[in-house]
């Protein structure tokens, strides 16, 4: 399955105001807005990492919207190390899904959507992605729960898994043991920001319709 999983890097320009004064005002203070105009705008390039997977031989890629939101450049890298530019065909912030097109005439190896409605608690699953920039990482676990509402988007029906998911896994596929995508890895629950075995994926039954 690894040839069908891609690793996404994006860049965007971020503008911040540098406070010229050696003190800060608490949020909501009347002085906060007054002194904002004295700040010096500074621009910098911010980079983000994520994952995705190919669903069409023409290079159609699925990922999370938050991976590509505000991106000026999107680079997609395959497991072979080839890099391509990609453009956004469509994005839905409410479901946190996005569809990309790799800008190439090459043929790619797609994966198939499975039926997430048939997935049961206790079923084994496998995640492939780009956690912390370590591309080609495969982790496994089980489905821990179904129909989770985590207050993240309009479609609250997440699959919970204990497969290890970290920063950079977002947008990557969650496979059943037949090699079919039954979820799009989207979020983790963590106090530290690192994997604690509580991750959430958008079910393929929802993702497929939105895509």
Catalytic residue annotation: 66, 96, 170
- Distance between CA 144 and CA 154 in Å, rounded? 22
Which is nearest to 175 in space by CA: 139, 206, 132? 139
Beta bridge partners of 3: none
- Distance between CA 198 and CA 200 in Å, rounded? 7
| CA 1, chain centre distance (Å) | 18
Which is nearest to 159 in space by CA: 197, 131, 199? 199
3-state helix, strand and coil shares in percent for the chain, rounded to the nearest 5: 15, 45, 40
- Distance between CA 61 and CA 8 in Å, rounded? 10
- Per DSSP, the three-state class of 99 is strand
Which is nearest to 11 in space by CA: 68, 58, 86? 68
């Amino acid at each position: 399955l690894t040839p069908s999983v891609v690793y996404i890097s994006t860049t965007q320009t971020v503008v911040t105001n540098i406070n010229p004064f050696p003190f800060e005002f608490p949020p909501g203070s009347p002085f906060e807005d007054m002194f904002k105009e004295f700040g010096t705008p500074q621009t910098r390039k911010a980079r983000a990492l994520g994952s995705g997977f190919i669903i069409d031989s023409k290079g159609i890629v699925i990922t999370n919207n938050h991976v590509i939101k505000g991106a000026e450049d999107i680079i997609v890298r395959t497991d072979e190390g080839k890099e391509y530019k990609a453009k956004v065909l469509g994005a839905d912030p409410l479901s946190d899904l996005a569809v990309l097109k790799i800008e190439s005439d090459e043929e790619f190896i797609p994966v198939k959507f499975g039926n997430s409605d048939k997935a049961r608690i206790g079923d084994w699953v496998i995640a492939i992605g780009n956690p912390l920039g370590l591309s080609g990482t495969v982790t496994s676990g089980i489905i821990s729960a179904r129909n989770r509402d985590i207050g993240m988007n309009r479609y609250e029906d997440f699959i919970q898994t204990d497969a290890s998911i970290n920063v950079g896994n977002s947008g990557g596929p969650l496979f059943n043991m037949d090699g079919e995508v039954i979820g799009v890895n989207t979020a983790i629950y963590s106090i530290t920001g690192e994997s604690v075995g509580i991750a959430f994926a958008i079910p393929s039954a929802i993702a497929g319709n939105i895509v």
